[in-house]
Each structure stands twice: as C-alpha cells, then as structure tokens.
Amino acid sequence: MPATTQHNEQATEVPDLNATESERLGENPARFLVEDVAADNGDGTTGELIFARIRGIVSTELVDYWLGVERWLAMQDDREPRDRVIDALEARKAELDEHGEGLAQAGLSPAERRERAAKRDAESVAVLVDEDGEEVSWSRQRGAVVGANS
C-alpha cells in the first residue's frame, strides 16, 4: 500500500503554483524546488536529487512547467531564480528537442505513459534492505540498498 505520509524532519510545506496543472502533468515541481541546492548526504530530497529529477524529465511541457515554478518560487522568496536550476532545465529541454520526448526505450509518449500509469496500481515494489537483507524503513536511508522482490 502506498505511503500517505512520510517522515522527514526537514520537511517544509510544499506550495503548488497550479494544482490542476500539477495533476495533469503528474507532479508538482515545487516538491523538489523548495529545497536548497546543496549536496545531498542521503537524509532528504535536497541538492543533487533536484538535478537527477531534472535529468529524468521526459517532456518539454514538463520542463517549461518546472521553469515556471522555479521562477515563481524565486519571486515568492524575493530572490532570483537559481542559475544552476535554470541551466539544468534549459539543457534538458534542448536534449529533449534534439532526441525526442518520452521514454525512448519504452517507445511511449508522455501522454501514453500517463494513460498507462493511471490504469495500474502505483504501489512501489522497491524495498530497502540492510547488509543482512533485513527490510529497512525508508526514513532510515543510510547504509540501505534497494533489494529485489523474491
């Protein structure tokens, strides 16, 4: 069963610029963009996880939404948009423009992926295990590895 809450001692309230658009595109970029751009030590969703998620974006439409949310968050915080974030998003958009959208290995467009995802149960099958193979809580990430289901 998917988790409805997640323990995160560093949690901040995640704003949603446009809940309708976030639902339509399948994610709220602010979930990542509210975090500081600093190296992640494995305790949360900060730093390099933002850039890993950006590298995984599969549509220019979603890149544009991320750009808008970064600019909106910057305005809310009375700051400039972060150059590293903007540069990473623009680079991802250029890559998608050059190589095409969607998951190339699956041959699916973003719309097809969303349609398939809506038809299946989104329950995660990943389980964290410690060095002895014992299941580890997701909130205790240090020293855990993802184990395969038997």
Among 5-14, 22-31, 40-49, 72-81, top mean pLDDT goes to 72-81
**Nearest-angstrom CA–CA distance, 45 and 97:** 28
39-61: pLDDT as tens digits: 555 555 556 778 888 988 989 99
100-125: pLDDT as tens digits: 777 664 666 667 766 766 665 455 55
CA-based nearest residue to 116, from 15, 26, 3, 21: 26
Q: Write down the H helix ranges in the chain.
A: 19-25, 30-33, 48-55, 60-76, 83-99, 110-119
**What predicted TM-score, i.e. pTM, was given to this entire model?**
0.58
CA-based nearest residue to 88, from 42, 33, 34: 33
CA-based nearest residue to 51, from 22, 83, 26: 83
Average pLDDT over residues 14-31: 86
Least confident of 107-111, 130-134, 136-140: 136-140
**Residue 104's pLDDT is what?**
60
